[in-house]
């Protein structure tokens, strides 16, 4: 996985979980891609979210 | 013979990842503690409690718009959108980001003033005021991530 792919996966995971927390609609496709992204990242959700937040500077 | 320098050189990426991870975890812990203290101080007043929720809401909105902005950069860099799409989306998202960033900063400042008026400690605003727009923005994003992590923990407990 290259850096660009990793960044995209991290953003995807953060976006989906932000939507969930804000009670916004999450489609099954979005959920599936975020789950898949997390699997590919090989990180816990907590680590992925912390890492994603470092991209948003 | 084992040499720590040799080990670090050979495992530079893993070591950097680990250091980054520890820094991020520590930062999250600091933000969690700071907000816990603020929330506790707001607990005794309906006005402060309500405004604390407003601040949180602005933090979430700000994170959302920064995410959109970052995604736009990624999509442009990866050729997923045309130059025209990038240009037009950039203008829209940038304006929105600027507006929400200002509202987020205002909400922190108002909460701080309200807390002072109610005799509560508002020292937490000092590093933000010193750090300027970037510090407010980072604080808001980290707070959002801390809340998402807590939200997930609660969800997992209930399921």
pLDDT tens, B105-142?
Answer: 999 999 999 999 999 999 999 999 999 999 999 999 99
User: Average pLDDT of chain A?
Assistant: 92
**CATH architecture of the domain with range B13-158:** Orthogonal Bundle (1.10)
Could you tell me the residue ranges of all domains in chain A? 3-55
Query: Which of the two residues, A46 and B10, has the higher pLDDT score?
Result: A46
SS3 of residue A35 by DSSP:
helix
Tell me whether residues B63 and A17 touch, CB distance under 8 A: no
Q: What is the pLDDT of residue B115?
A: 97
Tell me whether residues B20 and A51 touch, CB distance under 8 A: yes
Q: What is the pLDDT of residue B7?
A: 59
As a whole number, mean pLDDT of residues A2-24 equals 94
The whole-angstrom separation of Cα B115 and Cα B120 is 5
Question: How many CB pairs lie under 8 A apart between chains A and B?
Answer: 64
Chain A residue numbers touching B74 (CB-CB < 8 A):
4, 7-8, 11
The whole-angstrom separation of Cα B124 and Cα B113 is 11
Residues (pLDDT < 70) of chain B are 1-15, 17-18
Q: What is the pLDDT of residue B76?
A: 93
């Amino acid at each position: 996985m290259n850096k660009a792919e990793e960044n995209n996966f991290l953003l995807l995971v953060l976006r989906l979980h932000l939507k969930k927390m804000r009670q916004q609609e999450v489609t099954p496709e979005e959920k599936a891609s975020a789950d898949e992204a997390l699997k590919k990242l090989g990180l816990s959700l907590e680590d992925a979210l912390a890492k994603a937040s470092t991209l948003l500077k | 013979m084992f040499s720590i320098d040799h080990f670090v050189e050979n495992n530079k990426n893993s070591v950097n990842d680990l250091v980054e991870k520890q820094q991020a975890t520590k930062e999250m812990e600091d933000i969690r503690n700071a907000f816990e203290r603020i929330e506790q101080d707001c607990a005794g007043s309906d006005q402060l409690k309500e405004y604390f929720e407003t601040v949180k809401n602005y933090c979430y909105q700000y994170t959302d718009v920064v995410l959109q902005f970052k995604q736009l950069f990624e999509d442009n860099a990866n050729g997923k959108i045309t130059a025209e799409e990038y240009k037009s989306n950039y203008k829209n998202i940038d304006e929105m980001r600027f507006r929400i960033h200002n509202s987020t900063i205002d909400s922190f400042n108002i909460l701080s003033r309200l807390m002072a008026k109610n005799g509560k400690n508002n020292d937490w605003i000092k590093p933000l005021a010193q750090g300027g727009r970037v510090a407010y923005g980072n604080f808001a994003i980290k707070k959002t991530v801390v809340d998402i992590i807590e939200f997930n923990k609660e969800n997992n407990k209930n399921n």
